[in-house]
Amino acid sequence: MSGTNFVDYVKICCRSGAGGAGAVHFHRDKHTAKGGPDGGDGGRGGHIIVRGNKQLWTLLHLKYRKHVIAEPGEKGGSTLKHGADGHDEYLDVPIGTIARDAETDGVLFEITEEGQEVIIAPGGRGGKGNNFFKTATLQTPRFAQPGEPGVEEWKILELKLLADVGLVGFPNAGKSTLLSVVSAAKPEIADYPFTTLVPNLGIVGYRSDRSFVMADIPGIIEGAHTGKGIGIRFLRHIERNSILLFMIPCDSKNIKADYDILVNELREYNPELLDKSSVLAITKCDMLDNELIEEMRKEIPKGIPSVFISSVSGLGIDKLKDLLWEQLNKETE
């Protein structure tokens, strides 16, 4: 998933169709000079519908579609003919997309299943024809109901990537390197911070043809929840991960302090993130010997499963997969 093609935020003006007007008409034929009312109802205006599509991974196809306009309903006709409904407009989105109101920023709904359909802008109802209004005391109503207008509102669509394991760490913690080693994903890797500017997904193969999905999230810095760096833009992707894999390099000055900073950023953004299962990986350990590793274990925070790994030499990679698979099964149970 290249950076130029990954879009996880779009703002769209949705204009649903107006309902068709009801008809004012009276029955006439060669045998009837003054028949009763037979004006039909107007058709419903077209809805704008958001639909889940598991074949999509990004909102790129909606990036330049700033206005979505549905058709209006047709007018009612004579002899009780109902006007045709306006054509509905469908917006296919990836699973995990959230719809918000642009004015209030309130969450309207979330697409969580393939084929799930939610009306984001309802079309106006069609007006009733004069036949609807006839009564015993009003046998020839000469009026009908106009169609209900459609709505025109700005909506925001945000994508939260769906993955089993989300990688959480500071820039240059080795997240992209790990993903490139354990999966077929090819994220950009370089020796400078913020190499990863968009999330990357990879399928990690496990024993006996089993697999799970891993997401490389752009690096978090202290204060990310307040808008510093680029963390605030991608913290929402962590919300849909089953397990969080914290990654801290072995050359960190204080592993526990760095871990506490990452945990605090998640807590400040959304405290519920801390309810997820977590694993801690100490990265870039290819230059460490067993004695040094044992010494560093004393610095590791308590209460979280941990493993020392090296994506370059392969140290601890199989153990990490086993640990993640074990945690995933706990989540499933």
- Look at the chain and report how many structural domains it folds into: 2
pLDDT band at 192 (very low <50, low <70, confident <90, very high): very low
- The C-alpha atoms of residue 320 and residue 279 are separated, in whole angstroms, by 9
- 187 shares its domain with 97: no
* Least-confidence region, from 60-64, 180-184, 257-261, 328-332: 328-332
Q: Is the pLDDT of residue 307 over 90?
A: yes
| Mean pLDDT (whole number) for 281-300 | 87
Phi, psi of 296 (to 5 degrees): -75, -20
* Stronger pLDDT, 84 or 173, i.e. the higher one: 84
**How large is the angle between the packed helices 231-238 and 255-269, nearest 10 degrees?**
80
| Mean pLDDT (whole number) for 260-279 | 90
- The C-alpha atoms of residue 333 and residue 261 are separated, in whole angstroms, by 30
- 142 shares its domain with 172: no
- Domain end call among 134, 159, 184: 159
Question: How many CB atoms are located within 10 Å of the residue 53 CB?
Answer: 18
Q: Is the pLDDT of residue 184 over 50?
A: yes
* Least-confidence region, from 42-51, 82-91, 185-194: 185-194
70-126 tens-digit pLDDT? 999 999 999 999 999 999 999 999 998 999 999 999 999 999 999 999 999 999 999
- Domain end call among 127, 159, 191: 159
Could you tell me the two tokens for 232? 């605030």
| Mean pLDDT (whole number) for 234-261 | 88
314-323: list long-range contacts, CB under 8 Å, 24+ apart.
314/181, 315/285, 315/286, 316/281, 316/285, 317/181, 317/182, 320/279, 320/281, 321/182, 321/204, 321/206, 323/279
What value does the mean pLDDT of the chain take?
87
What type of residue sits at position 31?
H
Q: At 232, which CATH number? A: 3.40.50.300
Per-residue pLDDT at 82? 97
Place of tokens 């871990």: 259
- 197 shares its domain with 79: no
- The C-alpha atoms of residue 145 and residue 19 are separated, in whole angstroms, by 10
- 116 shares its domain with 177: no
Name the pairing type of β-strands 163-169 and 211-216. parallel
Helix or strand holding residue 101 (H, E): strand 97-101
137-162 tens-digit pLDDT? 999 999 999 999 999 999 999 988 77
Question: How many CB atoms are located within 10 Å of the residue 171 CB?
Answer: 17
pLDDT band at 190 (very low <50, low <70, confident <90, very high): very low
Question: How many CB atoms are located within 10 Å of the residue 77 CB?
Answer: 19
Per-residue pLDDT at 189? 46
| Mean pLDDT (whole number) for 37-43 | 96
- 180 shares its domain with 313: yes
* Stronger pLDDT, 227 or 161, i.e. the higher one: 161
Per-residue pLDDT at 5? 67
Up-side HSE of residue 26: CA atoms within 13 Å toward CB? 11
* Spatial CA neighbour of 69 closest among 147, 149, 151, 9: 151
Q: Is the pLDDT of residue 293 over 90?
A: no
Per-residue pLDDT at 183? 86
User: What is residue 47's DSSP assignment?
Assistant: P
User: What is residue 123's DSSP assignment?
Assistant: P
- 179 shares its domain with 272: yes
- 142 shares its domain with 169: no
Per-residue pLDDT at 199? 76
pLDDT band at 227 (very low <50, low <70, confident <90, very high): low
- 167 shares its domain with 83: no
Q: At 59, which CATH number? A: 2.70.210.12
Could you tell me the two tokens for 304? 């979280």
Question: How many CB atoms are located within 10 Å of the residue 255 CB?
Answer: 21
Residue 132 exposed, middle or buried by CB count within 10 Å (0-12, 13-18, 19+): middle
Please report, rounded to a whole number, the percentage of residues in the chain having pLDDT higher than 70. Answer: 89
- 122 shares its domain with 248: no
Phi, psi of 208 (to 5 degrees): 60, 45
- Domain end call among 159, 190, 213: 159
Per-residue pLDDT at 303? 87
- The C-alpha atoms of residue 326 and residue 322 are separated, in whole angstroms, by 6
| Mean pLDDT (whole number) for 318-327 | 93
- The C-alpha atoms of residue 85 and residue 62 are separated, in whole angstroms, by 25
Per-residue pLDDT at 291? 87
Q: Is the pLDDT of residue 324 over 70?
A: yes
- 175 shares its domain with 152: no
- 177 shares its domain with 73: no
- 54 shares its domain with 109: yes
Range of the domain at 226: 163-332
Per-residue pLDDT at 1? 43
pLDDT band at 68 (very low <50, low <70, confident <90, very high): very high
Per-residue pLDDT at 120? 97
